[in-house]
Amino acid sequence: MKSDLNILGIETSCDETAAAVVCNGSEVLSNVVSSQIALHQKYGGVVPEIASRAHIEKIYPIVEEAITQSGLDKNSIDAVAVANQPGLTVALIVGLTAAKTLALVLDKPLIAINHIHAHLQSAMMDTKDLQLPAVALIVSGGHTSLYDCENILELKLLGSTIDDAAGEAFDKVASILNLPYPGGPSIEKAAASGNPKAIKFPRTMLEKDSLDFSFSGIKTAVLYYCQGQDMKGRNNSDKMTEKQIADIAASFQAAVIDVLVKKTQLAADRVRAKTILLGGGVAANTALRENLEKMAQRTGRVLLVAPKKYCTDNAVMIASLGYHKYKAHIFSDMSLEAKAGTDD
């Protein structure tokens, strides 16, 4: 009787074309990612049409490479898991079409994966004894959300951003400071030599006990600081010293992290969480990881963080979550559609 379950995962929700094969939810047999950062860099953000065309060019070679690297025959794949939401619809359709085709040709089950839930799976993947209840924080370019994690397959939304996501704010502030795209790594690098207390940028907490986020205010505060309240189109960042830019980056980063940590603690207290989970692209930020770890230790909780190599979009997290949905017999048919939004 076959005991191992080999899941092929496909991810094309934004600007990474990725495929991976994962055995039994945690043994990574292959992990192939083609990034589009160079294509979108001159635009300062992801252009959907360009992303879609790049996915079309890369998807089948990437999938073939993932299967080859896994050392498995195609017929040894037990199911095809694919991110069908949320994301750029034109990008999701490419991965979904490839997944449907493979599932049909190989006569294997098709498994729909919520991209956001998969980011949390990255943090849980190597955990044998997950202590529940847990609170999960997803921080990325498109999403900043808190969830009550009842189990691996059941998440309840507690709060989300009402405007800019944290990652989006990082990108916009990096642009204001003339730092390279993507903004997250650029801000973190600049902030390393800066003083996080140099400038007191606002911490937007919204209403008392709110678990929602808002980062448009701090983005505007940085803009005013750099260009002045008259907003006459001047960007003084090109006249700033490296030290001044470092201080702005460090102060901005500290303000964002402060809000993320405080909101996460509030959510953890509310659901009496034993564990805190962290995933998403911004989860790679070292300062965020360190500050959440301090909070978790101070409040007697365990922090589980996605490995940095799995913080950005990847197919390992898709295949890993696909394993658990396979075990629960949660499959989709060929009518599965791509969705820009998320079903929370």
The predicted-structure confidence for 41-75, as pLDDT tens digits, reads as follows 777 778 888 888 999 999 999 999 999 999 999 99
Q: What average pLDDT values come out for the chain (344 residues) when binned by 10 residues? A: 87 94 97 87 80 92 98 96 96 97 97 95 88 94 92 93 94 94 95 97 94 96 84 64 96 98 98 96 97 98 95 96 97 96 60
Largest CA distance in the chain: 73
Beta strands 154-160 and 27-35, pairing class: unpaired
Strand (E) or helix (H) holding 20? strand 16-23
Report pLDDT digits (tens) over 89-140. Answer: 999 999 999 999 999 999 999 999 999 999 999 999 988 888 999 999 999 8
Domains, the chain, ranges and CATH? 6-120+311-327 (3.30.420.40), 131-308 (3.30.420.40)
Q: Which amino acid is at 185?
A: P
Strand partners, 79: 7
Q: Evaluate whether 93 touches 53 at the Cβ level (below 8 Å).
A: no
Tell me the C-alpha distance between 144 and 172, whole Å.
15
Closest CA to 204 of 250, 262, 157: 262
Closest CA to 327 of 63, 25, 12, 48: 25
Strand (E) or helix (H) holding 85? strand 79-85
Tell me the C-alpha distance between 323 and 290, whole Å.
30
For residue 39, the model assigns a pLDDT of: 79
Q: Which tokens is 2 given?
A: 């076959």
Query: Using a CB cutoff of 8 Å and minimum separation of 24, what contacts does 87-90 make?
Result: 87/12, 87/13, 87/14, 87/115, 87/142, 87/338, 87/340, 88/13, 88/14, 88/46, 88/48, 88/51, 88/52, 88/340, 89/338, 89/339, 89/340, 90/48, 90/49, 90/51, 90/52
For residue 10, the model assigns a pLDDT of: 98
Strand partners, 82: 10, 112
Total residues belonging to the chain: 344
For residue 344, the model assigns a pLDDT of: 46
> Measured in whole angstroms, how far is the alpha carbon of residue 252 from the centre of its chain?
20
For residue 1, the model assigns a pLDDT of: 46
For helices 183-191 and 242-271, give the axis angle rounded to 10 degrees: 110
Q: Show Cβ contacts of residue 179 under 8 Å, excluding neighbours closer than 6 positions.
A: 186, 187, 190, 245, 249
Q: Show Cβ contacts of residue 26 under 8 Å, excluding neighbours closer than 6 positions.
A: 125, 126, 320
For residue 231, the model assigns a pLDDT of: 53
Q: Evaluate whether 40 touches 25 at the Cβ level (below 8 Å).
A: no
Q: What is the pTM of this model?
A: 0.93
